[in-house]
Each structure stands twice: as structure tokens, then as C-alpha cells.
Amino acid sequence: MTRIPFAAGATYIVSDDSHFSVLRDITFPQLLVLRLKEFLEALQKEDK
């Protein structure tokens, strides 16, 4: 399942599932893992 975002060229994954946190330590390919709260905060900053 973790191969799908890489194959799709995703920049980040939005999930509160703690199992995805291991992806934060992988340097290549780089994939950001954001919690829902972090994602929503980033969206709000873009709107300003």
C-alpha cells in the first residue's frame, strides 16, 4: 500500500494513522506525511 503514493508521484500523504510515520524517516523518495490537523493548517495559511 505504501508504494501507491510513490508510484503516483504524490508529494505527501495526509493521515492520522501512526503506521505512516515511518515514512518520515525515509530520505528517498521524499514523501511528506502530514496529520490531518497539519494539512488543514497549511490550507488555511494558503488562503490568507
- If residue 32 lies in a helix (H) or strand (E), which one and from where to where? strand 32-34
- If residue 47 lies in a helix (H) or strand (E), which one and from where to where? helix 36-47
Per-residue pLDDT tens digits for 1-41: 556 666 677 778 888 988 877 777 777 777 788 999 999 99
Q: Model's pTM, two decimal places? A: 0.62
Residue pair 45/25 in contact (Cβ under 8 Å)? The answer is no
Position 42 pLDDT exceeds 60: yes
Q: What is the pLDDT of residue 40?
A: 93
Nearest Cα residue to 36 out of 20, 13, 19: 13
Q: What is the pLDDT of residue 2?
A: 56
Q: What is the pLDDT of residue 7?
A: 65
Please state, in angstroms and rounded to a whole number, the distance separating the CA atoms of residues 13 and 30: 11
Q: What is the pLDDT of residue 27?
A: 74
